[in-house]
Amino acid sequence: MRVMVTGSAGFIGRHVVDGLRDAGHDVVGLDISDGVDVRDPDALDALLPGVEVVVHQAAKVGLGVDVSDLPDYASVNVYGTAVLLAAMARHDVRRLVLASSMVIYGEGRYACAEHGDVRPGPRAVADLERGRFDPPCPHCGEPLAWAEVGEDTPPDPRNAYATTKLAQEHLAANWARETGGSAAALRYHNVYGPHMPLDTPYAGVAAIFRSELRAGRPPQVFEDGRQRRDFVHVRDVARANLAAVTAEVPAGTLRAWNIASGSPHTVGEMASALAAERGGPQPQVTGRYRLGDVRHIVASPARAAAELGFRAEIGFDAGMKEFARS
């Protein structure tokens, strides 16, 4: 099968390309590092003839620096996806695998002892300043317990990146309905592993911690370090993309799957694991915060297991040992 991968030289994209080629697919790569922009319709028209599936990884990622990033996020992630989908329609490409993200869920899912399942609003600055990092019940103000997020959880994006990833899903769903194509949206959780970018505010927290340790500095852990995430290895993510290329998705629809390890850990645990593997220095818990961050976001991987046959194979301990030295 002839597959085009956008963002083919990026952190996740290069692993996806390797997995597709190892499986016998003919891969066409598109990456800004080669001077080819997903927003360029002429470049797409030159690459898409004969392509049967597009795996769309190209994106501006991370939480960003401040609101000055908004135009770039909208241009690359939203406009770029729109240009790509229009080109796919011109060339009658009927299959899309979209790199989406768990960030579309916002603050995730919580349960109150009195009120059951609740969706807390954005955390108040006054609470964050006092070190009260866990969101309270919006009805009674009592503490909440986090719960797994399923794919049918209503989206609630809390930052620019999250908003643009949700917009990508909506555009892909529009394209599928209007063309009869099918779209598979893979909602990545916290991806880490070899080839993760270094020393950039747009990198994931695992890469930032590793860069600090390489420089002999202690990782700076925000809040109290107890914010919980699901860290999934990039080679597992590549396997999920390979499965999605041929997964059954009805024509005219978009189907979403959480791509996660199913074994959540705290950010503090991740920082400690990296520091231990490199022999220190030990992480420093700073109490600082970022308004765009959420407290806990933990996925249910059940749908991906049932429908894609995808289960993460690389455990947290083994993955962090490799990543710390990569």
Residues with catalytic function:
161
> What is the distance between the alpha carbons of residues 23 and 3, in angstroms, rounded to a whole number?
12
70, two tokens? 């908004």
Distance between CA atoms of residues 83 and 194, nearest Å: 30
Tokens of residue 44, six digits: 């797409």
User: Are 186 and 249 spatial neighbours (Cβ–Cβ below 8 Å)?
Assistant: no
**Residue 112 structure tokens:** 């109150």
Structure tokens at 291: 């308004």
